[in-house]
Amino acid sequence: MRLRRISVVALLALAAGCGDSGGDTIEVSLADLPCQMQSAQGIWESAPLPPITDEQCLWFLFRANNTYVFEHPLERVPFEVTGYIAFNSNGTASTIASGNAFLVDAADDSTITLRNGQNQDFWLRLVLE
């Protein structure tokens, strides 16, 4: 009976996302973000805020349990990293990403490595300062 209880607990932990994510690492170049932009103040955005009228400017699909290496044009390590997530590609009803839905694993002068540690896909807008 005890072994059975342990196996059920282990299965519940895996279902809750406590196990190995098994996700992929995906490289995202600036060319993959056709509407990315950088302001004169040095703020870089991967996509615009809603309303989005151009289909190629939709937010980036941030798949569950995957790691993403985003190329950025800042030529310095970002001092602030902000992600906005939504359940739809046009970013309506979005919120600031937090917790294990938006984990910053590394940053340098040309890339930033992010991870979606959730078991849920989101659409992402990334802002670097």
CA atoms within 13 A on the CB side of 24: 5
6 within a domain of the structure (yes/no): no
Q: Going edge to edge, which strands form the sheet with 111-115?
A: 25-28, 67-71, 111-115, 103-107
2 within a domain of the structure (yes/no): no
pTM, two decimal places: 0.82
Q: Tens digits of per-residue pLDDT, 58-90?
A: 999 999 999 999 999 999 999 999 999 999 999
5 within a domain of the structure (yes/no): no
Q: Which domain holds residue 94?
A: 22-128
Estimate to the nearest angstrom the gap between the alpha carbon of 24 and the chain centroid: 13
The CATH number covering residue 104 comes to 2.60.40
16 within a domain of the structure (yes/no): no
Q: How confident is the model at residue 118 (pLDDT cuts 50, 70, 90)?
A: very high
114 within a domain of the structure (yes/no): yes
105 within a domain of the structure (yes/no): yes
7 within a domain of the structure (yes/no): no
109 within a domain of the structure (yes/no): yes
Count of structural domains, the chain: 1
